[in-house]
Amino acid sequence: MDKTEHWENVYQTKSSDEVSWYEPDPKQSLDKIVSAAVDSRGRVIDIGGGQSFLVDRLLDAGFAHVAVLDISRTAIEATKARLGERASQVEWMVADITQAKSLGEFDIWHDRAVFHFLTDPDDRRRYVELLRRSLPIGGHFVVGTFAKGGPEKCSGLQICQYDAATMQAELGTSFEPLKCSEYLHTTPSGKPQQFFFGVYERVG
Ligand SMILES: C[S@@+](CC[C@H](N)C(=O)[O-])C[C@H]1O[C@@H](n2cnc3c(N)ncnc32)[C@H](O)[C@@H]1O
């Protein structure tokens, strides 16, 4: 099964609150985006947004330019359906982030639990190149991954765990850390999962 088939299968067979990453209130992400944004005119993209409620909360917070990208068309269509009329306020993209050539320009790039699936160094290099091309100097990268000591797999797939040092090594000198922290996510079945969260500014 290739990557697209894997994620299509997940979203075609599980409801949004059955998946381990389900989060009814994406507070960690939203707080970091709100504090990174100069104002609600900031353009925000949620990479691998899936069926996350982050897009709903960003619209509630008044963000006028919000985009959601995911490899799964099923996830994107379900999120659009949930938003109803408000879906037209959002830019939707179905793409594999490791293959996309250009996404346009954004002030904030958010990724919760996608980067850690990139176990191939070439995929990570292409991701960081696209990130750098998509954010102007002063733009922010908000990323959440499994932390060191956290889960070793997600959705049956291998992942890479991160801390501040290993994330910085992936990002290089074009990105400066503003805040790195960890928190515990609890899955719908009650399992704790340690997450690393970093907020970076593009400086070069
Ligand atoms: C663990 S889920 C996290 C979903 C969402 N960010 C959240 O926090 O609820 C990973 C998401 O990334 C998407 N995804 C995985 N690999 C991807 C890729 N290479 N390009 C774009 N999206 C991808 C999946 O379809 C899935 O929606």
Between CA 131 and CA 106 the distance in angstroms is: 9
User: Which residue range(s) make up the domain with 122?
Assistant: 3-10+38-202
Residue 26, SS3 per DSSP: coil
Predicted confidence (pLDDT) per residue in 132-188, tens digit: 999 999 999 999 999 999 999 999 999 999 999 999 999 999 999 999 999 999 999
Predicted confidence (pLDDT) per residue in 76-98, tens digit: 999 999 999 999 999 999 999 99
Ligand 1 midpoint to CA 132 (Å): 20
Residue 57, domain member (yes or no): yes
Ligand 1 midpoint to CA 7 (Å): 8
> What confidence tier does 10 reach under pLDDT thresholds 50, 70, 90?
very high
Which helix H or strand E contains 153, and what residues bound it? strand 153-154
State the burial class of residue 59 (Cβ atoms within 10 Å of its Cβ: 0-12, 13-18, 19+): middle
Ligand 1 site residues (CB inside 6 A) read 3, 7, 21, 23, 48-50, 52, 70-72, 75, 96-98, 112-114, 117, 154
For range 117-126, the mean pLDDT = 98
- What's the pLDDT score for residue 38? 76
Residue 156, domain member (yes or no): yes
Counted domains in the chain: 1
Question: Token pair of 90, please?
Answer: 């959002």
Residue 185, domain member (yes or no): yes
CATH of the domain at 174: 3.40.50.150
Between CA 131 and CA 108 the distance in angstroms is: 10
Task: Using the atom order of ligand 1, give the atom closest to the CA of residue 118.
Answer: 19
Scanning 17-120, the segments in alpha helix (DSSP H) are: 27-36, 54-60, 73-83
Ligand 1 midpoint to CA 86 (Å): 22
Ligand 1 midpoint to CA 136 (Å): 24
Scanning 44-191, the segments in alpha helix (DSSP H) are: 54-60, 73-83, 121-134, 164-171
Residue 108, domain member (yes or no): yes
| Test site for ligand 1: of 1, 2, 3, 7, most ligand atoms within 8 A of the Cβ | 7
Residue 18, domain member (yes or no): no
Residue 27, domain member (yes or no): no
Sign of the torsion angle spanned by Cα atoms 7, 12, 14, 16: positive
